[in-house]
């Protein structure tokens, strides 16, 4: 059985002081026995949140990282910098990064490879726009994102990977993919993993759903056979996140 993984993506919210207070509140109510729980926080909040969750089973993740170790890359953050602050996970290729900051499948692949090289678990995001869904190319689009994003990644590494399926049209809109829609795509992701690697790798890799996940719909979504938890946006900043973790 794959253990569920619930990751909160705090996006560009919370000062370090606010973040520490939120982490303290959320950690006390979250049941971490049945699910892996991750707070993916802004870079400025990583140290404060790491201190706040120390001694608990909650892990700290970053929202981005660069694919070089150091150099003239103003404004970027390296894997080594994240590791030194206790980061164990990193979100890579979120749709907001792709749309607003020109990230491509190729740069996502470079970051995934660097994360694995350094021992950080990537949460690799894939997802389609509303236009792509309406034109019935969702599965083809997702398959391409997975194949390019994992180019050069070995099977042993892929088994540790987390893939987050986030339909772009459902992020922050209040619209949620139906459990059947989410299951269809997550199943297709597992199928392409079996093609790239083998059935064992596909079965071991955890696939999340993200897109307006709430305490009210988490149980139905996470109850699908190929959905192993969620990458939670807005609700991760509220007490509702506890309900999602404890679904």
**Distance between CA atoms of 135 and 99, rounded to whole angstroms?**
19
CA angle 62/69/72 to nearest 5° reads: 105
> Among residues 18, 68, 94, 117, which one is catalytic?
94
**Neighbouring residues of 41: CB distance < 8 A, sequence distance ≥ 6:** 10, 14, 19, 49, 60, 61, 62, 63
| Backbone dihedral region for residue 181 (phi beyond 0: left; psi -120 to 50: alpha; all else: beta) | alpha
**Distance between CA atoms of 149 and 103, rounded to whole angstroms?**
12
* Catalytic-residue membership of 94: yes
Q: What is the DSSP string of 144-192?
A: HHHHHHTTT--HHHHTT-EEEE--GGGSSSS----HHHHHHHHHHHHHH
> Among residues 134, 140, 166, 184, which one is catalytic?
166
H/E element, 26: helix 16-29
| Backbone dihedral region for residue 86 (phi beyond 0: left; psi -120 to 50: alpha; all else: beta) | left
* Catalytic-residue membership of 117: no
Helix axes 179-196, 138-149, angle to 10 degrees: 40
Catalytic residues: 94, 166
């Amino acid at each position: 059985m794959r253990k569920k993984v619930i990751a909160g993506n705090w996006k560009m919210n919370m000062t370090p002081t606010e973040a520490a207070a939120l982490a303290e509140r959320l950690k006390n109510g979250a049941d971490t026995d049945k699910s892996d729980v991750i707070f993916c926080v802004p870079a400025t909040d990583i140290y404060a949140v790491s201190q706040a969750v120390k001694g608990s089973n909650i892990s700290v993740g970053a929202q981005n990282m660069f694919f070089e170790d150091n150099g003239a890359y103003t404004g970027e953050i390296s894997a080594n910098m994240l590791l030194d602050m206790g980061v164990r996970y990193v979100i890579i290729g979120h749709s907001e990064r792709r749309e607003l900051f020109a990230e491509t499948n190729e740069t996502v692949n470079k970051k995934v490879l660097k994360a694995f090289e350094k021992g950080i678990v990537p949460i690799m995001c894939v997802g389609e726009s509303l236009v792509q869904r309406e034109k019935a190319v969702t599965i083809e689009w997702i398959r391409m994102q997975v194949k390019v994003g994992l180019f050069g990644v070995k099977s042993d590494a892929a088994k540790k990977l987390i893939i987050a399926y986030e339909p772009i049209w459902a992020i922050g809109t209040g619209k949620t993919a139906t459990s059947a829609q989410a299951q269809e795509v997550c199943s297709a992701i597992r199928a392409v993993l079996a093609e790239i690697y083998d059935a064992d790798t596909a079965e071991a890799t955890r696939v999340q759903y993200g897109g307006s996940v709430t305490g009210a719909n988490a149980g139905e979504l996470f109850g699908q056979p190929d959905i192993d938890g969620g990458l939670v946006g807005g609700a991760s900043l509220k007490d509702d996140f506890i309900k999602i973790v404890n679904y």
